[in-house]
């Protein structure tokens, strides 16, 4: 099982970069949520997010959550500012494993998105330095650049950015798509979900959900767990 921690940059009191009617914190959350949704289609991958709404976990809280969870990879999604244009990503200086994953993810991102390639970079950033696993921070365009911002305002482009991240993760970790079966359906466990509630929601039985997902006799499920429900 590959455990991927997705960090939507900024949030809550910290809007991040601002420009052209956009807030970085909103864009990063939209992209992060879509990356998570797309990863559901793959086998043996579990996803946890640093935030799922407009809240502000501190930087140390984000890396601590990933470390305690035992993530295999830390993905931090950001939008740039400062007068430039295009896409770039960062890893911690000298981290060979992170650099290897960066090579794959960067390649897939620039294939997918229509933005200037600003290159693969390294930086002494908290989420890269304090995470115990390989990590990358992506900067998906400049919010204060009119052309980049126009792209970021489009839902199709947000989808393209999300797919670029997913394509990179799929290739980096050799993820396989769920076996084709029109009768299968999966969901991500949310706060407050129980097997009973999910069985009712998806018009199935508790026993089937237990069997499909090899649950224990207490029907234990976890937030962010991927379950077969059909």
Active site residues: 139
How far apart (Å, rounded) are the C-alpha atoms in residues 140 and 89? Answer: 8
CA 2 from chain centre, in angstroms, equals: 13
Q: Give the list of residues 6+ apart from residue 96 with CB closer than 8 angstroms, or none.
A: none
Cα 74–Cα 79–Cα 83 angle in degrees, nearest 5: 140
| Residue 120, phi then psi, degrees to nearest 5 | -95, 125
Rg (CA), the chain: 18
Contacts 24+ apart (CB under 8 A), 145-152: 145/19, 145/83, 145/84, 145/85, 146/20, 147/85, 148/85, 148/86, 148/115, 149/19, 149/20, 149/21, 149/22, 150/20, 151/114, 151/115, 152/22, 152/27, 152/79
Q: Give the residue among 63, 82, 220, 223 at the shortest CA–CA distance from 144.
A: 82
CA–CA distance, 87 with 113 (Å, rounded to integer)? 9
CA 65 to CA 60: how far, in whole Å? 8
């Amino acid at each position: 099982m590959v455990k991927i921690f997705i960090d939507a940059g900024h949030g809550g009191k910290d809007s991040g970069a601002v420009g052209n009617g956009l807030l970085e914190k909103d864009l990063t959350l939209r992209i992060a949520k879509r990356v998570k949704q797309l990863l559901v289609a793959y086998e043996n991958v579990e996803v946890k997010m640093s935030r799922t709404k407009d809240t502000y976990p501190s930087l140390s809280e984000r890396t601590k959550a990933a470390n305690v969870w035992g993530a295999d990879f830390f993905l931090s999604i950001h939008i740039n500012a400062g007068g430039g244009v295009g896409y770039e990503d960062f890893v911690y200086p000298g981290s060979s494993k992170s650099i290897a994953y960066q090579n794959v993810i960067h390649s897939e991102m620039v294939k997918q998105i229509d933005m200037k390639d600003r290159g693969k970079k390294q930086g002494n950033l908290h989420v890269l330095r304090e995470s115990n696993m390989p990590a990358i921070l992506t900067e998906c365009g400049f919010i204060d650049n009119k052309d980049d911002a126009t792209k970021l305002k489009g839902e199709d482009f947000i989808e393209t950015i999300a797919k670029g991240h997913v394509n990179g993760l799929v290739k980096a970790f050799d993820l396989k798509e769920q076996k084709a079966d029109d009768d299968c359906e999966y969901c991500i466990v949310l706060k407050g979900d129980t097997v009973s509630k999910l069985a009712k929601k998806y018009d199935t039985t508790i026993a089937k959900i237990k069997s499909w997902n090899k649950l224990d006799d207490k029907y234990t499920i976890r937030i962010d767990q991927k379950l077969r429900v059909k």
